[in-house]
C-alpha cells in the first residue's frame, strides 16, 4: 500500500515525466491487482472460518463453565 500511495502522490504532484508516469501507472496497476487478490484470499479464508469453525458467542454458556 505504501508503494501505491507514493506512486499516486508523485503522479498527482506532477513530479514524473510522461515516460515515468506510464511506468508508474503500470506498476500501480500491478499493485492494485495484487492487493485485490490478497483481499479476495483473505475474504475467502474468513468465509471458511465462519462456516466451519466460528460459532456465535454465547455468554451464558461461557459463564456456566
pLDDT in tens, the chain (65 residues): 899 999 999 999 999 999 999 999 999 999 999 999 999 999 998 888 777 765 666 666 656 65
Q: How many Cα atoms occupy the beta-carbon half-sphere of 32 within 13 Å?
A: 9
Asked whether the beta carbons of 7 and 28 are under 8 A apart, the reply is yes
For residue 14, what is the DSSP state? Answer: T
pTM of the model: 0.67
What is the reported pLDDT for 50?
78
What is the reported pLDDT for 51?
78
Amino acid at each position: 500500500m505504501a508503494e501505491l500511495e507514493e506512486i499516486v502522490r508523485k503522479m498527482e504532484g506532477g513530479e514524473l515525466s510522461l515516460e515515468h508516469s506510464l511506468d508508474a501507472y503500470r506498476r500501480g496497476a500491478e499493485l492494485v491487482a495484487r492487493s485485490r487478490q490478497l483481499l479476495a484470499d483473505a475474504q475467502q479464508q474468513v468465509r471458511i472460518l465462519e462456516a466451519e469453525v466460528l460459532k456465535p458467542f454465547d455468554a451464558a454458556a461461557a459463564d456456566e463453565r
